[in-house]
Structure 1
Amino acid sequence: MPFWPAHPTSHHSRSPITLKTGTKTLPFSAFAAPLLTPFRANPLLFNGHLQTFWTAVKWNDPHTIHYARQRLQNPADGGHFTVDFVVPEPFPPAPSSTEAVTGGRLPPRTRDMTEEEGARLGSDDDTPMVIALHGLSGGSHELYLRSVIAPLTRKVEEGGSGFAACVLNARGCALSEVTTGQLFNARFTADLRQMVRYLQEVYPRRPLYAVGFSYGANILTNYIGEEGDKCAFKAVALCSSPWNLEVASKALHRTYLGSEVYSKVMGGNMRNLFEIHIDNFSEDPRIDVDLVRRGKYLYEFDRDFTAQIFGYATVGAYYRDASSVDNLLKTRVPTFILHAKDDPVAVDEGVPYDEVRANPYCFMATTPTGGHLSWFEYGGGRWFARTACLILLLSLSMTLTSFQVVDFFTAFAREVVEVNPVDETLKQ
């Protein structure tokens, strides 16, 4: 890995869609390219493994976010899922309706939304709103997610961009309750679809955007592909998606670190979720509880639990169906993709380079290093978080005033202006 700034490589169609920004119409690639600042990797984290391992070291957590949790039901199967809405600080304490499940605990800085607050949800304002989807077994509390959501939701006068935001927690994640006999899978888009419908009902004038991280990016890609030109999102950002799950799984088990660290840790996290909600699955004839408990690796959990619950004949059949590569070809909204070529989890051989070039709605930036959802830079900060924020902000350039855009650039991303100047028309 070089110890100097690495300039991201762009991948896109030769005939991209055109976007109108201010008074000028630009190809998608010309719109996105100025947002790509160099990645100045921390020289001590000189490969993808070190970058990825560093995500477990949370000695510096500057991104404080407070959430109010709303519990929603999906009428398709009667199951419940939770949505954590970003709320201002401070907020009044509220009793936890999930006390029986979580022992009175919720993730840090998270509380249940009161009935009064729930009844007041809804507005005719046109505040842009971003939906975030976390990684495998994660939740709204994850630092990688908050590193994007925090600057987006900060007030404009405080150097932020003034977005509203919420996080969709997958069933059973982030200490949420499971009320049916299933958790989630990489192809399960029903809860996201129900959440989007709900937001469109309570906030009919708000433009919706989305950002997905790792496993959540795969689900988000499947969703926007399924929705096609009916998709409600104005733009999406995808960070460190695994894309081809079968390829990624096999690649993990070709190396010691892949199998004995990454796959084992992810498998252990999923088994922990299984144990927390064991009462929902213990009587299911499709599940051999002892077999699930004996597993060590992620593919074993997916073979013995996920594939069985969702009706797949084999774990390979599940991985092939849940992979999002083909759905990327069907997306009809501006889709920004960030990928590190040394990502040890979302491996480079599974990345859909050809599909990106085939779809004029896609733009991908790759860096030679950065690990999985990491991209830690020299002097602090994370390249992917800064880039994802700029992507979502500039997607609003038709609705934001020039003052708001320039103010955000000055306070949050001065480096973009100095190193990679943005066309002046983007600020109009």
Structure 2
Amino acid sequence: MGSYLSLSGSHIPKIFWATTPAYVPLKQRNGQDPAEKTSLRALLQSHCPSLFQKFRPAWWLSSGHLQTGYAVVGDFSKVDKVVYDRTLLELKDGGTLGLDFTPPASERVLDDETPIIVALHGLTGGSHESYVRAILAPAVTPVAEGGLGYRGVVMNFRGCAGVPLSSPQLYSAGHTDDVRQAIMYLTYKYPKAPILGVGFSLGANVLTRYIAEEGDACRLISGCALGCPWNLSKNGHLLHDHWLQRHVYSKGMGSNLKRLTSKHLKSIAKFPDSPLAQTIPELLSRNPILLVEFDSLVTRVAGGSSPPFPFPTADAYYVWASTHHILQDIHIPFLAINSEDDPIVQEVPTDAIGSKWVTIATTTGGGHLGWFEATGSFSGEVKRWVRKPVLEWMKATTEQITLDHIESKPLVVIDGWITEPGKEHLGCRVIGEGGRVEGVEGQESLLAGL
């Protein structure tokens, strides 16, 4: 059971902590006592003021359905523009990841010690998503121009956002080895740079699992999870059991996954005996297809490496991949933000945090990855409120505190593969540059914002 803080006013986020707070050393400044520490609660209260102030959704986006719908159909092409340089990583199992770096080298060269934000996108998204750019655009803006001046890196999952599918394995909410290898690469390339993680929806679940699995050896200095689905089994059943959720959200996400998989039919055909290839005939015959149906047909058998895949049922996969029950294994500063009117994630583990490193904040409005508030003008324009607490959190955990209990393992290069002692079955290497990435070219057939 955790403690709970609610300030007066229904529009102020609710903050949930474990009963016992974590204490971390402050960074030394001008002769400051190196032994001085602060609690994460005090850090949050002093350096993340947005979490303790009102968030009022735009009046014309007053419900979770409207907020979520606007995240999908809104035109964000002219806001938060971000341009990337793509690096393609080959993994030992034959898979390919696309790492999109911003700012591109042609625009600005950063110091190798510049903090790095690793972003994990949602279900079928990528670096082009508006919710990703809403965080990275100000985060990578120079300090002199009001930004943080950090480096942003989006890890595009296998087959997403134009990344080739080069193995008969997809990705899932529970498979963490891909982000593990991406962070190995970033640590090897920038050994002096602090690395932070931010995840959105499915990517938030992957990030949470990765951080919990790494424990005291985590290579990140902090994590932030937005719209995390937590209890996949319970939230999946809630999504399926309500008519609107089933016919709008579940059908929309299932169809997105089908379209994404269909983009790679030629690549999948190169592995005719694989479990993934064997699902294709039935997958193509399903129209429409619900999320749980896609997971039952495809994800449970091809959403990660073996073991633990394949799973006997989609629900067995959901139970394994859930994150609500592993928060006690998180040992770095971790902030999660969910909306109480999220139509996709209706169950948030605010009463079972179990880790002194974890803070969960909930807002009364915001939908799924929306959090749109009015700009204050009469133009009808909106901005994402959530960027404010996320940027404050990143700045605070990077620049105010240090972690003295984390002991990450050294990295080694074996036969050209960057790997970690004890995990030699994992490894990555650069296989090429994917060029300049800008806009949503090639992603028009997929629903954005999920």
1:298 is aligned to 291
* Aligned pairs (5 A) from 1:260-339: 260-282=247-269, 283-284=272-273, 286=275, 287-295=278-286, 296-309=289-302, 310-339=309-338
- 1:290, distance to aligned residue in structure 2 (A): 2.4
Match status 1:234 vs 2:236: no
* Aligned pairs (5 A) from 1:8-407: 8-21=13-26, 25-34=37-46, 35=48, 36=51, 37-60=53-76, 61-75=78-92, 77-88=93-104, 125-282=112-269, 283-284=272-273, 286=275, 287-295=278-286, 296-309=289-302, 310-347=309-346, 349=347, 351-356=348-353, 358-379=354-375, 380-398=382-400
For residues 355 and 233 of structure 1, the distance between their equivalents in structure 2, rounded to whole angstroms, comes to 23
Q: 1:90 to 1:397 in 2, by over 3 A?
A: closer
2:81 partner letter: T
Q: 1:89 to 1:231 in 2, by over 3 A?
A: closer
1:99 is aligned to none
1:6 is aligned to 11
2:209 partner letter: N
1:258-298 residue CA offsets vs partner (Å, 9 max, x unmatched): 11110111001100111111134342353232221233101
1:97 is aligned to none
Q: Residue 225 of structure 2 aligns to a residue in which SS?
A: strand
For residues 79 and 285 of structure 1, the distance between their equivalents in structure 2, rounded to whole angstroms, comes to 14
- 1:375, distance to aligned residue in structure 2 (A): 0.6
Q: Residue 165 of structure 2 aligns to a residue in which SS?
A: coil
- CA RMSD across the alignment: 2.1
Q: Residue 229 of structure 1 aligns to a residue in which SS?
A: helix
8 Å CA contact 1:189–1:219 kept in 2: the answer is yes
Q: 1:317 to 1:5 in 2, by over 3 A?
A: closer
8 Å CA contact 2:103–2:140 kept in 1: the answer is no
For residues 14 and 384 of structure 2, the distance between their equivalents in structure 1, rounded to whole angstroms, comes to 18
For residues 227 and 21 of structure 1, the distance between their equivalents in structure 2, rounded to whole angstroms, comes to 23
2:370 partner letter: S
1:156-195 residue CA offsets vs partner (Å, 9 max, x unmatched): 0111011111000000000110100011111111111111
8 Å CA contact 2:85–2:104 kept in 1: the answer is no
- 1:306, distance to aligned residue in structure 2 (A): 1.2
- 1:13, distance to aligned residue in structure 2 (A): 1.4
- 1:238, distance to aligned residue in structure 2 (A): 0.6
- 1:91, distance to aligned residue in structure 2 (A): 5.8
Q: 1:399 to 1:8 in 2, by over 3 A?
A: closer
1:111-162 residue CA offsets vs partner (Å, 9 max, x unmatched): xxxxxxxxxx9x9732111100000010000000100011010000111011
8 Å CA contact 1:329–1:355 kept in 2: the answer is no
For residues 190 and 317 of structure 1, the distance between their equivalents in structure 2, rounded to whole angstroms, comes to 19
Choose 261-270 or 373-382, whichever is displaced more: 373-382
8 Å CA contact 1:124–1:204 kept in 2: the answer is no
TM-score by length of 1: 0.81
For residues 235 and 96 of structure 2, the distance between their equivalents in structure 1, rounded to whole angstroms, comes to 30
If each structure's helix is expressed as a fraction of its own residues, which one has the higher value?
1
- 1:17, distance to aligned residue in structure 2 (A): 0.3
1:292 partner letter: L
1:57 partner letter: V
- 1:399, distance to aligned residue in structure 2 (A): 7.5
8 Å CA contact 2:122–2:200 kept in 1: the answer is yes
For residues 243 and 293 of structure 1, the distance between their equivalents in structure 2, rounded to whole angstroms, comes to 29
Name the % identity: 35
For residues 213 and 143 of structure 1, the distance between their equivalents in structure 2, rounded to whole angstroms, comes to 11
- 1:89, distance to aligned residue in structure 2 (A): 8.1
For residues 216 and 386 of structure 1, the distance between their equivalents in structure 2, rounded to whole angstroms, comes to 20
Structure 1: gaps (5+ residues): 93-120, 401-428
- 1:397, distance to aligned residue in structure 2 (A): 2.8
- 1:249, distance to aligned residue in structure 2 (A): 1.1
For residues 401 and 166 of structure 2, the distance between their equivalents in structure 1, rounded to whole angstroms, comes to 41
8 Å CA contact 2:85–2:105 kept in 1: the answer is no
For residues 257 and 90 of structure 1, the distance between their equivalents in structure 2, rounded to whole angstroms, comes to 47
Structure 2: gaps (5+ residues): 1-8, 303-308, 376-381, 403-450
For residues 84 and 165 of structure 2, the distance between their equivalents in structure 1, rounded to whole angstroms, comes to 20
Q: 1:141 to 1:130 in 2, by over 3 A?
A: same
Choose 46-55 or 389-398, whichever is displaced more: 389-398
Q: Residue 166 of structure 2 aligns to a residue in which SS?
A: coil
Q: 1:285 to 1:70 in 2, by over 3 A?
A: closer
1:104 is aligned to none
- 1:90, distance to aligned residue in structure 2 (A): 5.7
Q: 1:368 to 1:124 in 2, by over 3 A?
A: closer
